[in-house]
Chains A and B, each alone.
Chain A
């Protein structure tokens, strides 16, 4: 990239002699042929907040997972913590001994325990203590909370805490873990904050940032992983941007504009017009969702014509991914109604069973836990929704069910072409084809999709797109929640971009392109 590439690694605020807190060089990782990380380097200086930015699939989470010891890297990358060379994968305990601690998006707190018990959780996990002096621990916790101006009572149950208080607790705990270490002169620590903010309202984000500045002032360094450019620009000193598994650039925050950051994240304009579906003549809407709300979503309304494919997207926490589950009756909705071919139902009283009866189907993002039973065969999974119509409910015919499964496996090109094998033994792409076949054979009126090509290999992606397009051509309306802008570009007639639970922008027809969607997502004020 032309802008703000910083190769000068010395001269951090920790003084010229201090080595960087973390230095990674030549980190690569591939998953079955897909290159998730390609020769990535990352340097975090002492006493800085370092942003890690990138779209979904850019390699951010793979990097964090390698750092936390969940994945092993390919080859032998060079990794130094505080100037000491370490080899990956390392155990969490060893990381902690080196002063590295993680706060993941879901915080890792146990809601049924108290604040103090949560604060001491990793102690209990890692070491045997035969006597816990609860009063002394509570005093220490109070001092800790006071120091960072957090109003928390050690004895209160975690369940009573607001989301921001939980995030504060998780961050203070991580800092406490690495700086408290008995007797050692270890005051430097590295905290990895992995998307700590997406579920917080704006004023709470400020409270969290105040805490982060507090612990940095006390000697910690922070890696701040986020989707949100505004937050990264506000809190970080420098940031590294990943794109398609490579470092797209490293910038000094103070000297960089938001537009430049967006360009780093999204990349140059790539010609994806060839991917776009041809413009369709759409009939009058057959499906109307109105006033849908619940959780952080809503109210949300949309009308869909038969054959129309509408994409839903936004950043994490914007609520776009909840729409499909609520519409289906799989997640609780507070209010809203859906009308399919003139038949109206209240969404709050819908169940998946009723939705299916009205011609609405869901293909969930989590294929193994929600889409199909992994320990049953492809044939059994395929026939589940149509047993009674393919055969008779009280006298199932193995031959008829096997014929139906074999026909579907052929039509959707599931490989291997053997309906008797276990669903779990298929690759991600073939699993998804089975799910599409399972539901598309019912000729649905409304198809709800969540991340339909997540974990699907490149070859199968085009087949999944083609299957969706074919279902639309036969008159189904499609609502597709996805954070994959390329996929939305490839299949959607319209894309709705969400922010804080509402539709902030709508892109139609020729306006839809990967950069346009990305810019719309990131530019929202």
Chain B
């Protein structure tokens, strides 16, 4: 995952060390956070069950954040991804609980809903040349309206045990399986972004649309792929969310949007600085939630969550701006 730059002479050694520090800084900060809270509350914080909870409960945000970095790499925002999550979750619950359809069919329908949202986003952005920020905000709000209508504004509980078991109940090394699903998605995404021509095209489109077009890349097709991918990932997150809570709540999923953006941008400052990258993203999600969990164990009120996520987003964007500014000064 970490590509060393072409080996330089001895003079470059210090720069290489600086590089490595920058790549791993977030991991170090995370470790320091764990050490700090561990020292303050060794009995409650430094327990395996606490970490298992942290790892397992955040798989939904991990999947959303991973979904975001695909269109972000191509230079597009997807603000609809959280409402897409609740939309898919509600469709799954309505079909499985209210209509008694098998869980497999309900999951397929949820994925199809995510795909449809992605296609609608892509259609408006690409066909009418509109700003992705506006389109996805509108489409997301529309999807949320559909969600409330379909689910009658109720939380639908009683979803099939098979899904709940497969996501949160069954564990491996004490950690719920949902975490491993997110990990597998992360690995796949990392491979696609780093080691396939498709991933490289995505990056070219995001960094220079005209260059990409003149270099023979089908820019619109690539961007549409980005929206479809984030749509599907939103649906996957919805399915995991239903599995985690055994119910479909029409609104609480919306609060995941900001943490996911914060993690995506914070992730772009580490591992492969300057680029949205899956491993940086997943580390950011867990770094942020570690901080929040630690503070709440210390007895700080719940508003700390907003302070943490909001602050992290702004700081992360500032840091990536500084990274970019430094690259430009090099020029």
Contacts and interface: CB of A to CB of B under 8 A. Distances in A.
Contact of B331 (A353, A385, A402, A424): A424
A421 B327 CA distance: 10
A198 interface: no
B200 interface: yes
Interface string A382-416: 01110110000111101000100000000000000
B196 A352 contact: no
Contacts of B217: 353
Contact of A398 (B3, B208, B214, B328): B3
B189 to A, nearest CB: 14
A396 B204 contact: no
Given A422-B327, A424-B328, A424-B330, A394 B211 contact: no
A370 B218 contact: no
A85 B215 CA distance: 51
Given A396-B195, A419-B6, A420-B5, A374 B210 contact: no
Nearest to B218: A353
A371 B211 contact: yes
Contacts of A353: 216-218
Contacts of B203: 376, 380
Q: Which 7 residue pairs are nearest across A and B when measured between Cβ atoms?
A: A424-B331, A356-B216, A373-B208, A393-B197, A353-B216, A373-B207, A420-B6
Interface of B: 3, 5-6, 8, 194-198, 200, 203-204, 207-208, 210-218, 274, 324, 327-328, 330-331
Given A373-B204, A393-B196, A352 B213 contact: yes
Nearest to A396: B195
22 contacts: A328-B214, A352-B213, A352-B214, A355-B216, A369-B210, A369-B211, A370-B214, A371-B211, A372-B211, A373-B204, A373-B211, A373-B212, A374-B331, A383-B200, A384-B215, A387-B200, A395-B195, A395-B196, A419-B6, A424-B331, A425-B330, A425-B331
A408 B194 CA distance: 22
A380 B211 CA distance: 13
Residue with the greatest number of chain A CB neighbours at <10 A, chosen from B210, B212, B328: B210
Nearest to B12: A418
A369 B194 CA distance: 24
B163 to A, nearest CB: 32
A357 B216 CA distance: 8
Contacts of B6: 402, 418-420
A374 B210 CA distance: 12
A13 to B, nearest CB: 49
A420 B8 CA distance: 11
Given A393-B197, A398-B3, A422-B330, 7 more contacts: A362-B214, A364-B214, A370-B210, A376-B203, A393-B196, A395-B195, A418-B8
Contact of B327 (A356, A371, A375): A375
A330 interface: yes
A380 B200 contact: yes
A352 B219 CA distance: 11
B31 to A, nearest CB: 29
A396 B215 contact: no
Contacts of B331: 374, 422, 424-425
A398 B210 CA distance: 26
A198 B195 CA distance: 49
A402 B7 CA distance: 12
B211 A370 contact: yes
Contacts of A370: 210-211, 214
B216 A388 contact: no
Contacts of A418: 6, 8
A381 to B, nearest CB: 8
Contacts of B216: 352-353, 355-357, 385
A306 B213 CA distance: 27
A424 B208 CA distance: 13
Contacts of B208: 369, 372-374
A384 B330 contact: no
Contacts of A384: 200, 204, 215
A393 B213 contact: no
Contacts of A385: 215-216
Contacts of A425: 330-331
Q: Which of B5, B211, B218, B274 has the most chain A CB atoms inside 10 A of its CB?
A: B211
B327 to A, nearest CB: 6
A393 to B, nearest CB: 4
Interface in A412-456: 418-420, 422, 424-425
A380 B215 CA distance: 13
A356 B197 CA distance: 17
A372 B330 CA distance: 17
Contacts of A375: 207, 274, 324, 327-328
A446 to B, nearest CB: 14
Contact of B196 (A369, A394, A420): A394
A269 to B, nearest CB: 39
B51 to A, nearest CB: 34
Nearest to A353: B216
Nearest to A405: B6
A387 B328 CA distance: 26
A362 B214 CA distance: 8
Contacts of A364: 214
A394 B193 CA distance: 11
Nearest to A328: B214
Contacts of B204: 373, 376, 384
A356 B217 CA distance: 10
Contacts of A330: 213-214
Contacts of A357: 216
B2 to A, nearest CB: 11
B200 A396 contact: yes
Most A CB within 10 A of own CB, among B6, B195, B274, B330: B6
A420 B12 CA distance: 13
A424 B195 contact: no
Contacts of B8: 418
A330 B203 CA distance: 21
Contacts of B3: 398
Given A387-B197, A402-B6, A424 B211 contact: no
Contacts of A374: 208, 331
Residue in B198, B210, B216, B218 with the greatest tally of chain A CB atoms within 10 Å = B216
Given A376-B207, A396-B196, A418-B6, A424 B327 contact: yes
A393 B198 contact: yes
Contacts of B274: 375
Contacts of A394: 196-197
Most buried by B among A330, A388, A394: A394
Nearest to A402: B6
Contacts of A422: 327, 330-331
A329 to B, nearest CB: 9
B220 to A, nearest CB: 11
A398 B6 CA distance: 11
Interface in A334-390: 352-353, 355-357, 362, 364, 369-376, 380, 383-385, 387-388
